[in-house]
Amino acid sequence: MVWDLPFFRERKGLVGALLGGWGMRSIVILQSGNPFTVGIQNNWSRNLNRRPGIDRPNLRPGFTAERIILGRPERYFDPNGFELPEPGTYGNMGRNVLIGPGMATVDWSMVKCVPIPQLGESGGLQLRFEFFNLLNRANFNLPQRIVFAGAEPREVPLGSAGVITSTTTPGRQIQFALRLSW
């Protein structure tokens, strides 16, 4: 959004010079979460694919993909809603069934342009006050998706399963700039 403020635009003198000619700019980003797949660290299905996290666990009876999401960074999903399938078999969890946290951020700036005719037709001075992630919202990354190590048939979920350890955007950042154009 770009909005040139109409206030004091026609004013002359010191008041017009200080308070006139300001504009607001903003960018608002609202995104739903990305899908992700929970997995087992080791090759539980005994297929030839040795990449970690490819095999998937079973969803326990009574749990659904929607109900398993807790939404907290210290435990985004409930790892107790999963169990290991029988060794040598595939789990019943689908690919990309769970949805990660969404993202919302607002960037906002105030800009004042002062034309300076002595610098040419497009010459001037621009003062900018810029705020990135204005609301200082924590936008969390995807959680740790490996639920089981896959070392033994009756193991419990890993303590790190479902834990979010990072954010996708930094905290609020403020910058001031003065730009001379000629």
- Per residue in 87-118, pLDDT (tens digit) is 999 999 999 999 999 999 999 999 998 888 88
Task: Report the share of the chain in percent with pLDDT over 90.
Answer: 69
Q: Which of 4-18, 79-93, 106-120, 129-143 has the lowest mean pLDDT?
A: 4-18
Residues 6+ apart with CB under 8 A from 80: 60, 157
* Cα separation of the two ends of the chain: 26
Phi, psi of 60 (to 5 degrees): -65, 150
Q: Average of pLDDT values for 42-59?
A: 87
User: Which value, to the nearest 10 degrees, does the dihedral of the CA atoms of residues 39, 40, 44, 45 take?
Assistant: 0
E strand segments, 15-139: 22-31, 35-36, 39-40, 58-59, 69-72, 75-77, 82-83, 98-99, 103-115, 124-132
Q: How confident is the model at residue 17 (pLDDT cuts 50, 70, 90)?
A: low
